Amino acid sequence: MWKTAKNKEPTTNRRCFSIVHQYIQRFNEVSGGKSGKVAIFKVVVKGDPKPEVTWRRAKGPITDKDKFHSKYDESTGEHILEIVKVSGAETDTYKCYAANEYGKAVCKATLTVIEDSNHPSDFRKLLRRSKEKPGGESDERFWQAMLKADKKDYERICTEFGVSDLHLILKKLEEKKEERAHNNYQDGTTAYDENGTEGHSFSSGGRTKNSNLKVMQKGKGLHQEDEEVHLFNTGRDLTDEEAMLLSTELIFSTVDFVIKIQELKAQEGDDALFACVLTHPLPKITWTGKGSTLEEGAKCSITVSDHKLIHRLLIKDCNSLDQGIYSAVAGVKSCSAWLVVQAESDPASAGMRRARKTTVASGAPIDLEKIAVEQQIKKREEMEKILAAVKAKHKEGQVAAMDKKSEGNSIDNTLDNSGCATREGGKRLGKPKNKKRMRSGQMDFDKVTDSNEGDFQDDDDFTGSVKKSKNRKHGQNGEHEQMEFDQTETSAESQNDVADCDGNKDSRRQKHRKKAHRKRRTYAREDPNEPTSEDEASYSDESEDSLDQHKRSRRAKQSKMLKKVNGESTCPEEYSGYDEIEGITGAPTHSRRKRRGPLTEDVVIDIGVHFICGLSDVNAVINETAELTCKLSSEDCEGAWFRDGKKISPDHNFSVTNDGAIHKLVIIRCDEEHSGKYRFEADGRKTEAMINVKDPPRFNHADLKAFSEPVTVKAGHNAIFKLQFLGHEPVKIKWYSEGEELLDDNNTKIEKSASHSRLLLSRCQRRDTGEIKIKLKNEHGFIEAISQLIVLDKPTLPLGPAEVTEGSAICIEFRWRPPKDDGGSPVINYMVERQQVGRNTWKKIGEIPGIPSYRDTDVDHGRKYCYRIRAVTAEGTSEVMETDEMQAGTLAFPGPPAPPKVVSAYDDCVNISWAPPSNTGGSRILGYVLEKRKKGSNLWSAVNATDELIKVKKYAVKDVVMGMEYEFRVTAVNLSGIGEYSNPSEFVFARDPKKPPGKVSNLKVTESSYSHFVLTWTKPEDKPEIQDEAKGYFVEIRPAECLDWSRCNPTRIITTSFSVKGLKSMNMYWVRVIAVNDGGESAPEELANYVLAIPSPVRPKFTNHKMKSFMVVKAGNSVRITVNFEASPWPHVMWIKDNVPVTKRVTITNSDGSSQLLIPSSERSDSGIYSILVKNLAGQETFSTEVRVTDDPKPPGPVVLEETVPGTVTVIWEPSPDEKRDDRLHYTVSKLDFTKGNWTTVAEKLFNNKCTVCNIMPGREYHFRVYAENDMGVSAPSESPTCWKEKKKEKRVVSIPTRKECDLRCAPTFIVPLKFHAAPKGYECYMSCAVKGNPKPRITWYRNHISLNTDTNYYISNTCGVCSMLVLRVGPRDMGEYTIAAENALGRAECSTVLTVKE
């Protein structure tokens, strides 16, 4: 069996990131069935960059590879953990960690393994083992404390008494509460729950043989569909207790975000406000910033609206460290957004303190309160739909019961004296333990809600019982709640009793046993201290109000039905479904009544009084007022207030008021003893909230107002700030200036006491101006107060350079900029002095008003002057600012204006406009002179006289002849005279405006390439009075990713074709052509399809016909294959070796029209057939080259001669070591006849290891040699012994001892390493080093780990171990790390350096 439990860890461990990354987590519940099989966990992780996923368990490592298999399914994107042959040892909490550089996410699931058994005794043993008492349970004080304690204290009490199994203790505590409630019931009393908490169970585990567990989470989070975990498949019926132990329900919160947090861009020093709206009310959500959880404090402020739908996070005084990703986590849902902190845009004001403002999300403003109210209305409408479905199902149940009863043939319907129908033929079930009142047609609210989703599973889903105490009172809420809960369950069973009147007693007894068991469970669930599961809590949040409303409607019906008259129960005709009636003496009377008339329709359910708005938690300040407010659906309902279970009466501290449906409790002056849980009850409904009375630091309003006033002092004087406060001690006091904490030093003195603090700033300077803040903090909270310090000083000097606005023979006018810092006081005047260039004296002109400009009219023609300017404020005079030399009376003519533009033209008038000249000549423009000229003439005629200047920059020329063509020019006039004429305007006809031309036709592309295409079109037709002749054309293009059109020709063209150039290869462009004339532009003619910057398709073909199809390369040398081709569009090029893609050690270089394959240092394994595939949309082409990498062959082994046939000799030799690696290696055999004295070849191209030589003459001596030969050359020979050489007398040979040769081989090492190089751009760079090694090492140069040996841009040499490389014309691309590698058979050595390029 498998038992899976949802993780109950807080949601702060569940993080999701947006903008740069996001995690979407999902655990599959374990899909096994029995112990000994495989347990599978699956999770889907998403993020950018791709997260790294690891698995862990709580009680030990996952290192056993035979037991735990971790893998990744690429097809589904799932990370899977499989546990093979699970047993009880694998019962644990398993965690999946996903992490990347932006954060991490954790997902958990619990695996519980229960040994499988089909024997009933095994289940009983299992239950007995679950009831074993741990240490500490035998102490009666432990159970007394648990019965009296609140749910939040259970874990603490278990720890004190040494009890470890909290789950088992909670089950036993439930039984004890059930037993206590049953004893109270036997004694005639019902336990009253002062908190009024109802903890009904909504689970249906244990009511069916096979319970199907389906987990479904809507949205992006946990998502598992069409997957069922079958439990209790044991082949027998389980009892309710066994089913409760083995069943598991997983219900996940459906809370989601209606409005998610948005990206914020805040200025440095401002506040940033994130806000979101939820679909369901939550008292608290988790806020995270840059991977860590945020709490209420000095930096962050977290607030929740009264209806708990709007949650806000305020980041105070933003700086660059606050920039990052912030997230809001509600259950399994989350949303993220960036906070971007921008630096101060104005450097001049960077040091000045400005008022702090709050930054919210950009875009259209969103009314969060309005959205929250709409969400509440939406939820209320959904609840009304649920109630409507309940009513419909309720009626369907009554109709079904009527149909069943009408079909019964064995029921004899009679009528008793009371008018209630009874059943005489029915069998009685024996004396019950508790008396019951049952009414047909009534069903439980939660069961009806379940029935909306599917059919009812079992008759037991609608059965129950009603417990009635002997001593019934109106105020006993526990009895009323128990009646209405159990009565609804009995209705369906009553129907079954009527329909199955001939049923056996055993089945009915079994039903009564189940009902009695459910009654015990109901008593246990009524205790307010029973811990409810997370599933029930999430369900009750949405359904509590509907359940309470439904119960009150049933309560009203019961008050009408349950009447006792002289020991007999009266029953109206419409409520005639009661089976057993209890007399006033308490003795049950069992009677069967027959229904006289047909079943009547039940009364419509009235939801009753309910809360529209409940209480919310309040944080109150000591000695201040606190208020709790709630709103009912009815204005006529009274209620009562309770604090910690005790009723509150109005007095001098508490004020209880109600305004219609709104009820208020006001604590006039809060004290610490007023903290606690407050509850409001009305008509059986209740709402609760907490009041926490705190004593945070606070200021007197008058003192705070006085402190907030700016303090103004003069430079060099002292500034004093002091403020009194209240609050719980100890209080931490800190002073800040412009955000920086102030500490005691020579200029700063801080005095602190229990009720006030004082700050003394000595010898203040202008730079000390800014914000002064005091911050107080204790264990209850913190508070801040802000003031401003203004230090007055003399201003800085005015800012130059001075700008001459007018310079003439009679005056000089100039202006300057005000001082950067006015010293805290506005500039009153400016003191101006003048000096004539060439003299030593300064003439004081006087003070002028505080406008930074001056006009000097007392000047001499042609002389130069300098001026000195000082700013004057109330605090003093600034330093002097001296101007450059200014000359008066020089002739400076204005420059030419822009060419005139024709605004409009008519038969008798042409309207002209122009722009002023950029160079005014140092004086103001007095006016303009306009001239005109006919086309074909060289004479310009003035339109206006020089003494009648045109003051504006436009003019209507009326002295024109209709049909003539004119051009115009203009000149400006200043104090010095007439300036230079402008360029002439375009020619214009003096005639009424023309009609714009029509659209061009037959627009098409005739030629295209990667960088241009050619357009052609047909000229539009000339239609009088509709469209005139086109005088030119404009071509416009627009890239596919852009929405703006751009013109390719700045001036109109007159031809009907145009070449559009400067295109990006393979880009898509939209093209249109516009025809123009004097009347305007035509409508654009656009191509129907986009144009692709690509040549016409050309099938790939190879252009180099001298390419080799076979090449032999000596091992160690480079292999270079270059293929030239042509294709359009640019093809896809792929190289393969023996039908397999080439390895990474092969370098492929593709360029325009060619591709090159390079192997820097070849090996024998590089031999093979290399093929290139060139493919585009027009086709494909391939070419193959066989490359054989080999080396000089090694000689064959020893040669042996055999003579089996006279006159022939068989030469046999051992194969060469290269024979296995080179399939083209063959042998050549040579013969030496000592008589002739020369060598002759007797056999060649032998691929075996023996050769038979004929024509051997007896008595002659022969000698044979065998050579190995391949594509690279011939090996050294292997000599054979002399053939038939006669024995000679052996000579005495004296053996001389040979001296052992010294082994001089060594691995390569660098004697002189490379040095650091920094070369100027465009110069040469020479690198060198020395290396030794025997055998001689092979040298390879690298730049950024890329080989340079075959790069022609570098000159590389190796002379006697001195390795050098020359880089010509060093550029930025040559920067990087250079490495030289020396390698031989004994080892490898490397040496590196860095080359930097100076600009």
Q: Are 952 and 884 in contact (CB under 8 A)?
A: no
The predicted pLDDT at position 6 comes to 37
Average pLDDT of the chain is: 76
Q: Which of 439-443, 984-988, 1356-1360 has the lowest mean pLDDT?
A: 439-443
Tell me the mean pLDDT in the region 878-898. Answer: 87
Kindly state the average pLDDT of the residues 777-794. Answer: 92
Structure tokens of 1297? 């001892």
Q: Flag whether pLDDT at 1017 surpasses 90.
A: yes
- Distances, alpha carbon 496 to alpha carbons 114, 397, 402, 502, 657, in Å: 37, 12, 11, 11, 51
pLDDT digits (tens, 9 = 90+) for 563-604: 333 333 333 333 333 333 333 333 333 334 444 444 434 444
pLDDT at 607: 67
Q: How long, in residues, is the chain?
A: 1399
Report the C-alpha gap between 141 and 45 in whole angstroms.
49
**Could you tell me which residues are beta bridge partners of residue 1387?**
1384
Q: Pick the closest to residue 462 from 428, 479, 486 (CA basis).
A: 486
CB 320 within 8 A of CB 2: no
pLDDT tens column, 1160-1210: 999 888 889 999 999 988 899 999 999 988 888 889 989 888 887 888 888
Q: Is the dihedral of CA 349, 350, 356, 362 positive or negative?
A: positive
Cα–Cα distance between 119 and 1241 in angstroms, integer?
Answer: 95
Give the Å distances, CA to CA, from 903 to 914, 955, 1082. Answer: 10, 10, 18
pLDDT at 981 over 70: yes
Spell 1174-1195 as b/e; 16+ CB within 10 A means b. bbbeeeebebebebbbbbebeb
pLDDT digits (tens, 9 = 90+) for 309-343: 999 999 988 888 888 889 999 887 889 898 888 88
Beta strand 711-714 with 781-792 is parallel
pLDDT for res 110: 84
Task: State the pairing for strand pair 812-817/853-856.
Answer: antiparallel
Alpha carbons 1209 and 1242: distance in angstroms, whole number? 12
Taking residues 697-719, report their average pLDDT: 91
3-state secondary structure of 34: coil
pLDDT digits (tens, 9 = 90+) for 1065-1107: 889 999 999 999 878 899 999 998 989 888 878 889 898 888 8
Instruction: Record the tokens describing residue 406, joined without a space.
Output: 């009408």
Q: Compute CA 669 distance to the chain's CA centroid, rounded to the nearest angstrom.
A: 48
Question: Is the pLDDT reported for residue 1151 higher than 60?
Answer: yes
User: 352 pLDDT band (50/70/90 cuts)?
Assistant: low
Other C-beta atoms closer than 10 Å to the C-beta of 968 total 25
Mean pLDDT computed over 791-798? 92
Q: What is the pLDDT of residue 517?
A: 43
Q: Which of 745, 633, 614, 754 is nearest to 690 (CA)?
A: 614
How many angstroms separate the CA atoms of 1191 and 562, rounded? Answer: 112
pLDDT, one tens digit per residue, over 795-842 is 999 998 998 888 777 788 899 999 999 998 999 999 999 999 988 899
- pLDDT tens by residue, 170-197: 878 888 887 877 776 554 443 434 333 3
pLDDT band at 345 (very low <50, low <70, confident <90, very high): low
Given a cut of 90, whether residue 1135 has pLDDT beyond it is yes
- Predicted local confidence at residue 878, as pLDDT: 92
* pLDDT for 1293: 66
Q: Rounded mean pLDDT of 346-368?
A: 65
Would you state the structure tokens that stand for residue 947, as one six-digit string?
Answer: 């003494």
Query: Taking a C-beta distance cutoff of 8 angstroms, is the pair 58, 95 a contact?
Result: yes
Residue 635, pLDDT score: 86
Contact by Cβ (8 Å): 15, 79: no
Sheet holding 646-647, edge to edge: 618-621, 685-694, 676-682, 640-643, 646-647
Q: Which candidate, 98, 105, 62, places its Cα nearest to that of 82?
A: 62
Strand partners, 1211: 1201, 1251
Report whether 372 contacts 307 (CB < 8 A): yes
Give the mean model confidence (pLDDT) for residues 139-158.
79
CA distances 3 to 37, 40, 43, 110, 204, Å, are: 14, 13, 19, 8, 16
User: Which residue matches tokens 């300040």?
Assistant: 621
Q: What percentage of the chain reaches a pLDDT higher than 90?
A: 28
Q: Where are the alpha helices (DSSP H) in 527-587?
A: 534-561
Task: Please name the helix (run of DSSP H) or strand (run of DSSP E) that holds residue 180, with its range, or none.
Answer: helix 166-186
β-strand pairing of 1179-1190 with 1110-1114: parallel
Per cent of the chain over pLDDT 70 is 73
| pLDDT score, position 575 | 36
More confident residue, 915 or 47: 915
pLDDT value at residue 273:
92
Quote the CA–CA distance of 394 and 402 in Å, as a whole number: 13
Which of these, 1037, 1030, 1023, lies nearest to 1054 by C-alpha position?
1030
- Quick: pLDDT tens for 1322-1372: 888 999 999 999 989 999 999 998 888 888 788 899 988 899 999 888 888
pLDDT above 60 (res 1137): yes
- The packing angle between helices 166-186 and 140-148, to 10°, is 80
Sign of CA dihedral 479, 485, 491, 494: negative
How many Cβ atoms sit within 10 Å of the Cβ of residue 176? 14
Cβ atoms of 163 and 135 within 8 Å: the answer is: yes
Instruction: Name 271's bridge partners.
Output: 358
- DSSP 8-state secondary structure symbol assigned to residue 1130: P
- Tell me the three state secondary structure of residue 220: coil
pLDDT band at 1282 (very low <50, low <70, confident <90, very high): confident
Rounded to an integer, the average pLDDT of 922-934 is 89
Tens-digit pLDDT profile for residues 467-516:
333 333 343 344 333 333 343 333 333 333 433 434 444 444 444 444 44
Instruction: Supply the DSSP symbol for 13.
Output: G
Pick the more confident residue, 25 or 555: 555
Distance between CA 115 and CA 616 in Å, rounded? Answer: 48
Would you state the pLDDT for residue 555? 47
pLDDT at position 717: 92
- State the average pLDDT over residues 129-158: 69
Q: How many CA atoms lie within 13 A of 1269 on its CB side?
A: 13
Q: Is the pLDDT of residue 432 over 70?
A: no
Pairing verdict, β 333-342 and 324-330: antiparallel
Q: What share of the chain is helix, strand, coil (3-state, %, to 5)?
A: 15, 35, 45
Reported as a single tens digit per residue, the pLDDT across 19-35 is 333 333 334 334 344 45
Exposed (0-12), middle (13-18) or buried (19+): which is 1103, by Cβ within 10 Å? exposed
pLDDT of residue 35: 55
226 has pLDDT over 60: no
Angle of helix 505-526 versus helix 477-499 axis, rounded to 10: 160
In 3D space, the residue among 1122, 1272, 1269, 1284 whose CA is nearest the CA of residue 1207 turns out to be: 1284
Range of lowest pLDDT (214-223, 297-306, 654-663, 968-977) = 214-223
In 3D, which of 104, 92, 116 has the Cα closest to residue 41?
Answer: 92
Report the pLDDT averaged over residues 882-897: 85
Q: What is the pLDDT of residue 304?
A: 92
Better pLDDT: 147 or 757: 757
Residue 1061 has pLDDT above 80, yes or no: yes
Identify the top-confidence range among 86-90, 692-696, 1302-1306.
692-696
- Span of 241-250, 362-371, 865-874 with lowest mean pLDDT: 241-250
* Tokens 């201003």 found at: 795
Phi, psi of 246 (to 5 degrees): -95, -15
DSSP string spanning 278-335?
Answer: ESS--S--EEEETTEE--SSSSEEEEE-TTS-EEEEEE-S--GGG-EEEEEEETTEEE
pLDDT at 646 over 70: yes
pLDDT in the model for residue 168? 79
Parallel, antiparallel, or unpaired for β 756-761 and 257-259?
Answer: unpaired
Comparing 479 with 907, the larger pLDDT belongs to 907
| Residue at token pair 């057939």 | 1169
Burial of 1003 (0-12, 13-18, 19+ CB in 10 A): buried
Residue 1277 predicted with pLDDT over 70: yes
Q: What is residue 603's predicted lDDT score, i.e. its pLDDT?
A: 46
Highest mean pLDDT among 247-256, 539-548, 925-934: 925-934
Query: In the prediction, which pLDDT does 1147 show?
Result: 92
Distance between CA atoms of residues 1330 and 1358, nearest Å: 9
Of 92, 73, 119, 97, residue with least CA distance to 4: 92
Give the strand order in the sheet containing 78-83.
Answer: 39-44, 78-83, 68-73
- 530 pLDDT exceeds 60? no
- Looking at residue 255, what is its pLDDT? 83
What pLDDT sits at residue 363?
Answer: 61
